[in-house]
């Protein structure tokens, strides 16, 4: 087996690197390659181990990673995360989301996050995406390098077969952890790795390399299509980042599908499932304007409202009966992850009660002598229906002072004006209309 070339690491020469270090074979080899390069320590090299807590030996894995980094004189940060084991897309995907969120939180501006995915991983990802009916963007599988948070995500081993990593580890007498869950074929990726890929390799020994090559070709095709897709997306976007249904429906079917997937990705939603584009076209684009159809997958939703498609993710329900006293001096974090803030004033004269709508509330608007049903005012407002249950009500006794920052009563409006203050509500998750991220 040819030794691993040091040129694999040239792309990040001079850049500080954060290594995702699980303690397994792949990340151990990657960390060893970087740690034995004397220039890496000077430019900044550190590691992070994400402690998922899903295995009984998770504490020992973290301890093993710490011993390894101590021996190689590298700083290691162990981050504990909570994984939604009952997530709709399974524990694997939930663990990956938690891991990437931890990486994004730790990455410094200009730093490169190095992950140890290799050619066999790429082949498996290509097959998984093909089995889910992915388009050319999905068949491109993992990218060798892309923007990530304030830095770059970098996979320097993506063209290297796992056998070469194992040969390097044995040559240098490295020690690594074997995850017992890797033998559980109940997970799709494990079934591909343990059962299907060996069977394919018996007949086509280069099957893994060819799948990885197909992923590279798909990435090249996606890159060629991207400029035109971005131009079409800009033409379909409204000022608030929602997608115009008439503009999208006017595109040729293939172009419309790519624009929809690109918009969904730029909005930070999980990848659309294989039947996602078809169902959105049939159930949302073709729906009557007075309906409110939506397409759900994982934690995400795409909703048709007012001739636009809206991207929604991460909306958690409030616990029944939740309420809190708020003085306005510090931000108030709401049960769904939203946030209330008062700017320009030290706090309210008296604490207010913050709670969810119960129904039947009335509010007196500025310049009006009578009150209105809050429900009717919300229906007439620009607040989307799916956000209305998440609007925090600010109350003083039975009097409603405000519904978030969307509808403010006359007494609170006058108080804010007199104090030069502003009430701000930050909705939860990916739910505030806004232009998609350009990454």
Helices (H), 44-176: 58-71, 90-106, 119-131, 136-139, 162-171
C-alpha distance across the termini of the chain, in Å: 38
Binding positions for ATP are: 22-27
> Checking DSSP bridges between strand 362-364 and strand 371-373, what pairing results, if any?
antiparallel
Compute, in degrees rounded to 10, the torsion defined by CA atoms 173, 175, 179, 180: 80
CB atoms within 10 A of CB 421: 17
Token pair for 368: 């009006």
Q: What is the CB-side half-sphere exposure of residue 16 using CA atoms within 13 A?
A: 14
Rounded distance between C-alpha atoms, residue 169 and residue 176, angstroms:
9
In the numeric block, the tokens 């498996």 are attached to: 124
Question: What is 383-405 written as a DSSP string?
Answer: --TTTGGGPPEEEETTEEEEETT
Helix (H, G, I), strand (E, B) or coil at 184: coil
Rounded distance between C-alpha atoms, residue 29 and residue 1, angstroms:
15
DSSP state, residue 3: P
Handedness of CA 389, 267, 429, 50 (dihedral sign): positive
114: CB partners within 8 A, 6+ apart: 12, 17, 18, 19, 20, 30, 34, 154, 155, 156
Rounded distance between C-alpha atoms, residue 252 and residue 229, angstroms:
12
By CB atoms closer than 10 A (0-12, 13-18, 19+), residue 236 is buried
∠ CA 333-334-335, nearest 5°, is: 125
């Amino acid at each position: 087996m040819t030794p691993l070339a040091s040129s694999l690491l040239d792309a990040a020469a001079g850049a500080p690197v954060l290594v995702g270090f699980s303690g397994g074979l792949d990340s151990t080899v990657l960390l060893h390659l970087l740690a034995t390069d004397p220039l890496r320590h000077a430019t900044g090299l550190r590691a992070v181990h994400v402690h998922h807590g899903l295995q009984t030996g998770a504490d020992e894995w973290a301890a093993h990673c710490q011993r390894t980094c101590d021996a190689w004189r590298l700083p290691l940060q162990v981050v504990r995360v909570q994984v939604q084991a009952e997530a709709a897309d399974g524990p694997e995907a939930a663990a990956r989301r938690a891991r990437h969120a931890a990486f994004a939180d730790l990455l410094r501006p200009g730093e490169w996050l190095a992950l140890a995915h290799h050619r066999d991983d790429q082949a498996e990802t290509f097959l998984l995406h093909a089995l889910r009916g992915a388009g050319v963007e999905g068949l491109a599988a993992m990218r060798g390098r892309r923007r990530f948070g304030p830095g770059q995500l970098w996979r320097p081993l993506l063209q290297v077969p796992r056998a070469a990593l194992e040969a390097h580890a044995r040559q240098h007498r490295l020690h690594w952890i074997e995850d017992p869950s890797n033998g559980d074929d109940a997970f799709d990726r494990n079934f591909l790795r343990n059962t299907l890929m060996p069977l394919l390799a018996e007949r086509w020994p280069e099957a893994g390399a060819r799948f990885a090559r197909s992923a590279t070709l798909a990435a090249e095709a996606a890159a060629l299509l991207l400029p035109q897709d971005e131009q079409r997306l800009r033409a379909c976007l409204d000022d608030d980042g929602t997608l115009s249904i008439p503009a999208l429906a006017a595109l040729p079917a293939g172009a419309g599908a790519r624009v929809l997937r690109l918009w969904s990705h730029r909005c930070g939603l999980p990848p659309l499932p294989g039947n996602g584009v078809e169902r959105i076209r049939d159930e949302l684009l073709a729906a009557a304007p007075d309906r409110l159809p939506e397409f759900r997958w994982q934690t995400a939703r795409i909703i048709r409202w007012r001739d636009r498609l809206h991207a929604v993710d991460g909306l958690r329900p409030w616990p029944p009966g939740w309420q809190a006293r708020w003085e306005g001096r510090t931000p108030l974090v709401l049960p769904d992850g939203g946030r209330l803030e008062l700017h320009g004033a030290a706090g309210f004269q008296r604490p207010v009660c913050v709670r969810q709508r119960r129904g039947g509330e009335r509010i007196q608007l500025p310049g009006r002598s009578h009150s209105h049903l809050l429900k009717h005012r919300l229906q007439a407002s620009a607040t989307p229906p799916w956000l209305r249950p998440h609007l925090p009500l600010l109350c003083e006794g039975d009097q409603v002072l405000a519904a978030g920052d969307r509808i403010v009563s006359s007494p609170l409006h006058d108080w804010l004006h007199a104090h030069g203050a502003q009430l701000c509500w930050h909705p939860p998750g990916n739910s505030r209309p806004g232009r998609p991220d350009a990454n």
